[in-house]
Amino acid sequence: MKLNQIADKPGARKNRMRIGRGIGSGMGKTGGRGGKGQTARSGVRIKGFEGGQMPLHRRLPKRGFRNTAFAVKLNEINLGKVQAAIDAGLLDAKATVDAEAMVKAGMMRRAKGGVKLLGEGELKAKVAFAVLRASKSAIAAVEKAGGSVKILAPAPEAEESEPKGKKRKPKAEGAEAEA
């Protein structure tokens, strides 16, 4: 076999369809876009449009509430990844392992809101963790290996701040007596 004999299997590569090149090509005139109207033009915006009928995404009831204004964005780290970093010498098992140490070890790019420790993988080293959250399985695995998990309090700015534009009025003293 020579370099000039190497080729894809027949049918692996198809030629590009050249549209708008006359009647004989089979892709002339409208160029595969059908006839007239909004869809024949660029910048089409009718993904959920149902011909004027109320679209499905508006007919269905809206349920629940997700308060994303105060949601804490966390990095999820599995115990297996921590063990791999310890084995590679990136993390010091004797020191407390927190978000800053994990960023320094290259396990994540930035600390975000904190770290959630997950229990997937096996932890052999005795490690003291300081994280924002941890799953029950992760805490059990760390304690089984002889380590400890300290759950940190969330940042105070996330707890105390109120949504913009909403200020609470103090309850009137007479309202408590009526109720």
Q: For position 113, which CATH number holds?
A: 3.100.10.10
Residue 36 lies in a domain: no
> Three-state SS for 176?
helix
pLDDT score at 51: 86
Q: How many domains does the chain have?
A: 1
Residue 88 lies in a domain: yes
List the helix and strand counts (H, then E) for the chain: 6, 5
Closest CA to 156 of 72, 41, 51, 30: 72
Residue 43 lies in a domain: no
- Domain coverage including residue 140: 75-159
Residue 125 lies in a domain: yes
Q: What is the pTM of this model?
A: 0.53
User: Would the pLDDT of 45 be above 90?
Assistant: no
Residue 98 lies in a domain: yes
pLDDT digit string, tens, across residues 76-90: 999 999 999 999 999
